[in-house]
Structure 1
Amino acid sequence: MEDIDLIAKLGFGAYRFSISWSRIFPDGLGTKVNDEGITFYNNIINALLDRGIQPYVTLYHWDLPLHLHESMAGWLNKQIIEYFALYADACFASFGDRVKNWITINEPLQTAINGYDVAVFAPGRSENSQIEPYLAAHHQILAHAKAFSLYQRKYKDKQGGQVGLVVDCEWAEANSNKIEDKSAAARRLDFQIGWFLHPLYYGEYPEVMRERLGDQLPTFSEEDKKILFNALHFIGLNHYTSRFISHVRECTGENYYYKVQEMERIVEWEGGEAIGEKAASEWLYVVPWGLRKILNYVSQKYATPIFVTENGMDDEDNDNLPLHEMLDDKLRVRYFKGYLASVAQAIKDGADVRGYFAWSLLDNFEWAQGYTKRFGLVYVDYKNGLNRHPKSSAYWFSRFLKGGENEGKEE
């Protein structure tokens, strides 16, 4: 509750959080609702609304009930589509009178590739990386569509909410004007977001994926296509960074997903200068212009309202630095200024952007990186009672949201 007070105090009008499937159905099967879980989320939702903060709720952010993995191989089994629909139904029924913005699945790409190819996320599989990631993705797409269809049929008229899917994407900028590099950059975008959005608009995977993966890529039945068509009210876009892309025939040392794309991701301009300032995570460079480009790309290609559902950067956890230095996060302030300016430019370009969420409110558990990376606007003191300390970026956002200074022009 103190955190929700803090959200209100900083001036944010919306808060995006995830429901854990296991907290609603501990076995994942939808047989018996866990009332304590329902109460827990009711308390959060009501507290947000009491303070004038709109809840944006994600149903699945990579935490599959263990029983579903152990008993039926989780996302590799087509049955999971039905179980996900039962879970979504329970959430719509329990919370949909107050929650009007739903996200079915967060970053299905990461579940598929990091879970079933690179193996750094649960369930940590890499034994069959030519088949399993594409099967896991296929079932997530259909699970999303099934939940959307259920909402439309059963809840839309009564509750009046909207349902979207969150995809993640680095912007892919061709490394040169060569046709091979431009094709590689286009291919990269299709393998990131086309993979998940194309089926919802065209009933098929992108042509380049079908060509390169052949029989390894599952197909949609005619019945599937009916449920897939236009099965979303909005696109959620998680974006952090960008890369230059060049065509290569041989990708050395990469996992299968990258090899099949025949491209290299480059983090330097031609002269050797970094593409942007580097954050703590090895993959994260500060490249504000990439957000404008990806928003325009998605807007032009799919013509659906967009929410930027995650955007932010991390600092390294450092016990040796005094607290006041950890709190003075100048690079994060520069990051948000640059990226928000990019959002404003994309809106002027014609992109239908409806909202923006900073990642994240608090320093948190970053999956494979644990607590070593800090993305929060608010510092969490892990050694002293989890005390919260707003960073400079939190105060900057607070002024920005309250229309104080002309923040975008400062630097």
Structure 2
Amino acid sequence: MLLNKFNATTSFPKGFLWGGAIAANQAEGAWDVDGREPSQADIMILPEEYSRLGSFGENVTLKEIQTALNDKTGNYPRRRGIDFFHTFPDDLALMAEMGFKCFRTSFSWSRIFPKGDELEPNEKGLEFYDRLIDKMLELGIEPVMTISHYEIPINLIVEYGGWANPKLIDFFVRFSKVLLKRYKNKVKYWIIINQQNDVYGWGEFAGLGILKGHENQEETMFQAVHHQFVATAEVVKCGHQIKTDMKMGMMLGINGTYPASSRPEEVMAAYELWNRNTFFFSDVAVHGEYPGYMIRYFKDHNINLIVTEKELQLIKENTVDYISFSYYSSGVVHAEKPNQLLLDNPYTKASIWGWVMDPVGFRYTFNVLWDRYHLPLFVAENGIGAVDEVVDGKIHDDYRKKYLQDHVLQMKEAIKDGVNIFGYASWGPIDIISYSQAEMSKRYGFVYVDLDDKGKGTGKRLKKDSFYWYQKVIQSNGEEI
């Protein structure tokens, strides 16, 4: 066969899952309804003054947790979200109007196991997800469900120390089994843990529930990561046992990582940082073993993990079916600062929140993942946060259309490169509370929600110009971009 006659895919495949993504903790609200108890997201306050370039949750203490739980007047945006708990039928109808083929959202762990360590789930919490998933299916929208998305019950942090405690393995597996069994005939695509590699900085608290102050903070962090690896493998095993065609996926939070120059030391520094901060997690999830570069890193940094042969065997035998990832921006690595991804690439521009806009990096990321793993890829998040203005009842967000258009075109190029991509979930289809800054004013959606940073407004939903752009993209299966 001549190569030029090979029937390569040059456009989005039939049945491609176009859609969008949100998280329970940023949208649902109803933080104390039907037996739900606080999660880590519910203690994150939005102060009166803040920096768009900053993040919250980097140095959470037990005292701060208790203060937040006792605070009845502070501005805690994720407690109210956009009231998706009550408005989801109308919000999903808007997504169906755009033509969504899939919708990615997450379960609130503390809605189902309020304290996290109960033996039996909260039925009222499960009934909400019954209604939500049934509505998706009724509208012809494929549910892509994330089991854990920065939603650890606060009790598991205060009483157990988060994922640093191996007891969380059993708690998480119990929670996951309830979901896998209940929705085995309704949910095909599962993402076990959101952005599993996002563990440095505020991610230590958000993803692992670890507070600062451990004698060896990095060792504690990686021990917690190991516990998540074990739990993830157990959940993959359970999912495949419950239903053989259930697709169990892992998720990365990816920032394109480049050397600041062609200087060999910087090329190597960028390679090592991308391995350590990102591919370590997918290497374990896909290949089922700890890579040599991390074993060396642990040795060089005096990191000693408690790991059993039984756990390693479990990880080896229960690898994931696909890789999902979020992609927003990229950065560069300087040899003098090998542990930092900096945003000083002179060939890119940044949003007002400092996030570099790099659509070519999107295609690059697809190819890197495909070459490394040869597993199907799903885009779990991609979008731009911006300040939207309502003028005569309309929102002209050409900047959002431009960002997404550029990225979708590069995704199409990756498909031409031979990469197996089966879905794209834009973040997010509707305005929600941002995670890193806890703002409502940092908007991502195709649908505007009339609420401000203090929760004031009508809550009315308005279609932005990008709504109609994305509708055409989906209708044409990516031929009209």
The answer to whether the 8 A contact 1:243-1:275 is kept is no
Task: After superposition, give the CA deviation of every residue in 1:243-262 in whole Å (9 maximum; x if it has no partner).
Answer: 122211xx4xxxxxxxxx44
- State the 1:111 CA deviation: 4.6
Match of 2:265 in 1: 180
- State the 1:405 CA deviation: 9.3
Task: After superposition, give the CA deviation of every residue in 1:325-375 in whole Å (9 maximum; x if it has no partner).
Answer: 982111110111111111111111111111111000111112241124112
Aligned counterpart for 1:164 among listed residues 243, 246, 249: 249
The aligned runs of 1:323-362 (5 Å cut-off) are 323=391, 327-362=395-430
- State the 1:121 CA deviation: 7.8
Supply the distance in 1 between the matched residues of 2:135 and 2:339 (Cα, whole angstroms): 49
Supply the distance in 2 between the matched residues of 1:41 and 1:68 (Cα, whole angstroms): 22
Q: Unaligned regions of 5+ residues in structure 2, if any?
A: 1-88
Q: Which amino acid aligns with 1:306?
A: L
The answer to whether the 8 A contact 2:164-2:220 is kept is yes
The answer to whether the 8 A contact 1:134-1:217 is kept is no
Q: Secondary structure at the match of 2:280?
A: helix
Supply the distance in 1 between the matched residues of 2:259 and 2:393 (Cα, whole angstroms): 38
- State the 1:310 CA deviation: 0.5
TM (normalized to structure 2)? 0.75
Supply the distance in 1 between the matched residues of 2:425 and 2:253 (Cα, whole angstroms): 14
Match of 2:449 in 1: 380
The answer to whether the 8 A contact 1:194-1:205 is kept is no
Q: Which amino acid aligns with 1:191?
A: R
Q: Which amino acid aligns with 1:377?
A: F
- State the 1:13 CA deviation: 0.7
The list of structure 1 runs, each at least 4 consecutive aligned residues, that deviate by more than 6 angstroms after superposition, is: none
- Whether 1:7 and 2:121 are equivalent positions in the alignment is no
Q: Which amino acid aligns with 1:303?
A: H
The aligned runs of 1:196-275 (5 Å cut-off) are 196-214=281-299, 215-216=302-303, 218=305, 220-229=307-316, 231-248=319-336, 251=337, 261-263=338-340, 265-269=342-346, 275=348
Q: Secondary structure at the match of 1:369?
A: coil
Match of 2:158 in 1: 70
The answer to whether the 8 A contact 1:13-1:53 is kept is yes
Q: Unaligned regions of 5+ residues in structure 1, if any?
A: 252-260
Supply the distance in 2 between the matched residues of 1:405 and 1:312 (Cα, whole angstroms): 17
Percentage of matched positions with identical amino acids: 27
Supply the distance in 2 between the matched residues of 1:404 and 1:108 (Cα, whole angstroms): 30
The answer to whether the 8 A contact 2:189-2:247 is kept is yes
Task: After superposition, give the CA deviation of every residue in 1:281-330 in whole Å (9 maximum; x if it has no partner).
Answer: 22x1211000111111011111111101110110136xxx4445982111
- Whether 1:31 and 2:31 are equivalent positions in the alignment is no
The answer to whether the 8 A contact 2:210-2:221 is kept is no
Greater RCO, CA 8 A, separation 6+: 2
The answer to whether the 8 A contact 1:247-1:264 is kept is no
Q: Secondary structure at the match of 2:427?
A: coil
Match of 1:105 in 2: 193
- Distance change (3 Å), C-alpha of 1:405 and 1:17: closer
Q: Secondary structure at the match of 1:373?
A: coil
Aligned counterpart for 1:370 among listed residues 438, 443, 446: 438
- State the 1:107 CA deviation: 0.9
Determine which structure has the larger helix proportion and give its number. Answer: 1
Q: Which amino acid aligns with 2:331?
A: R
Q: Which amino acid aligns with 2:309?
A: E
Supply the distance in 2 between the matched residues of 1:325 and 1:189 (Cα, whole angstroms): 44
The answer to whether the 8 A contact 1:60-1:106 is kept is yes
- Whether 1:394 and 2:447 are equivalent positions in the alignment is no
The answer to whether the 8 A contact 1:10-1:397 is kept is yes
Q: Secondary structure at the match of 2:115?
A: coil
TM (normalized to structure 1)? 0.87
